Chains A and B, each alone.
Chain A
């Protein structure tokens, strides 16, 4: 099948050829049927992955596309979750309102780190965002309204007697928003905004010389990223039904960074693959431990001891052998099949 592109429009098209459209159709069909074949536990894993995908997409737009380092992404997820907790749990606001308000609140609060980012770069920006994360965590622990580490209850999503409460129902809800978030991010990357993000990442002085407003686009990158995080936080809050500050500590921010680094910086697909990998590793260890428990009881105990080590080892090995992340592997496989049976 010929795959030539003769215009920029074709080159940046979302669904570039029939193959892509076919695979997408198969993927959607699989996502509709799959939940009926999986256990509730496996569905819960996919639900966690779906929420992580949304958060990782947001962070990749900021770090991967715009080159603005952030160690405070978990704080924006927390802001989204607690906005939902306060709106839905305390004021009884419905999901349809709580979701955009959670994202918007996170986006507005991102100005606290977005504005200083105009003067801060690299490690200094990293430290600034890290400090922001600690401040948010402190507030959540000490503000009476958020009830410290006792946490807050979040009601079910529903209206008129219908509630979204099972893993299956959450699966479709979360996957819908994950797909929407992916579509928006993919589109954003193709627009002037996305190209400006990339120009700033590649060389901010050159970008400014080309007429790109650094302040506008840097702040926009922070806001968009935080909006994604806020939406992820909102969904997480509704899904878990109870939020505690410990859910959103520095380890969450680090996990998100690991997702985009391992998945592939500056790529939408990388965010998705990274989110799946990082969220999936602990569950992979669970299955491995269970499989070995009967035959090698001591070995399975050792795996629990080495859990963090295994997690770190996977990350280090991926970075060593695949610095472009999982998306690099994907690209190689794609090229291999595209040129098959030829090597180049």
Chain B
């Protein structure tokens, strides 16, 4: 009797196991004849909450436009926007939810370097294409089959900043204030690499701990080193604090920073003192009339809430543009993948995207089997304190410093 019971139990377990597996194998996760399911993981809660909504706005507007104009190869996009809470643990939970529960084909955006690093194995194991928005070169070098970076990373932008400064003045004395984490250190590495490439050196370096807002010692160190340009690999609150410290010291030193600080709230925090503040970014300002910008404005007006987003002067538009660049890159990969869409064909589709025209909004997108980062190029923008706008001072260019 007992052995019979065991026999039935084992048979039942085997049948259940096989049925579950065969059901899974018969379909492609996140793809039907009519629909492609994509995820966008952004911060809707937690310390990075500021960054999430504009990215989600861009995704929603783009998806609404694509679906309204016939979809991709006849399939509509079903977008799942999920809160990743920026922390690695919360990002892992969000990624598990969209992969295992919602069963998306790909994660077209994930905000945060550490969280992205944490979910790479999960994505690779489940054959999910991941597009991380983070600082780390490690996402494309040495790279991973399932990870694509449609964004210029901090290393490249820092190289570009130093090359720009030294291009204007070969004898410039450059100091660096950087956040003592991977984001800041990657900026320092990019800057050091560019300085070495141009056969010079950074004259001073001052790291700070996350959350620091008093930069008196850092700025004093820069002054003592007699620098004429300070590169800031900082976030917005720190850049604003440094601008104020510069004014307090009565020191006319040039500041150049990264894209995360070039947002309208900079003017709210520092007023006209922001005038002349430069930063490197892959994204053109929304107030330009470049073809790529005009196009997204039209789509935003038709499918989004323009008054609250791109027409709102306080809106962090660069994040909207970042989101746009990502979904545009993913959509192009989906188009190239063709009708027979699955994770493998999506990878091949993305790898076949060549010089996709972004109309000046950001560098054109190129991927390849050995290149999973779309570009090394960026622009230099400058803050105009009077008009409270950012203007292009140097157009899209790639740094000459080797990037790999």
Interface of A with B (CB < 8 Å)? 33, 36-37, 39-41, 44, 141-142, 148-151, 153, 165, 167, 240-247, 249, 251-252, 282-283, 286, 290, 301, 304-305, 307-308
Contacts and interface: CB of A to CB of B under 8 A. Distances in A.
Nearest to A38: B20
A39 B29 CA distance: 14
B88 interface: yes
Interface string B110-123: 00011101111110
A244 B119 CA distance: 10
B45 interface: yes
Contact of A307 (B83, B89, B97): B83
A33 B125 CA distance: 25
B93 A282 contact: yes
A302 B347 CA distance: 36
Interface string B88-127: 1110110011001100000000000111011111100100
Contacts of A150: 113-114, 117, 136, 138, 182
B125 A247 contact: no
Contacts of B93: 282-283, 286
B88 A148 contact: no
B181 interface: yes
A308 B45 contact: yes
B100 A153 contact: no
A241 B88 CA distance: 13
Contacts of B44: 301, 304-305
Interface of A is mostly: helix
Interface of B is mostly: helix
Contacts of A142: 180
26 contacts: A36-B17, A41-B96, A41-B97, A44-B100, A142-B180, A148-B182, A149-B181, A149-B182, A165-B125, A240-B92, A240-B121, A242-B121, A244-B88, A246-B89, A246-B118, A247-B118, A251-B87, A251-B89, A252-B89, A282-B93, A286-B97, A286-B101, A304-B45, A304-B83, A305-B45, A308-B45
Given A44-B100, A149-B113, A244-B117, 6 more contacts: A37-B16, A148-B185, A240-B118, A242-B117, A242-B121, A244-B118
Nearest to A301: B44
Nearest to A151: B117
A282 B118 CA distance: 18
A151 B13 CA distance: 38
B84 to A, nearest CB: 11
A151 B138 CA distance: 10
Nearest to B92: A240
B125 to A, nearest CB: 7
A151 B114 contact: yes
Contact of B117 (A149, A165, A286, A304): A149
A43 to B, nearest CB: 8
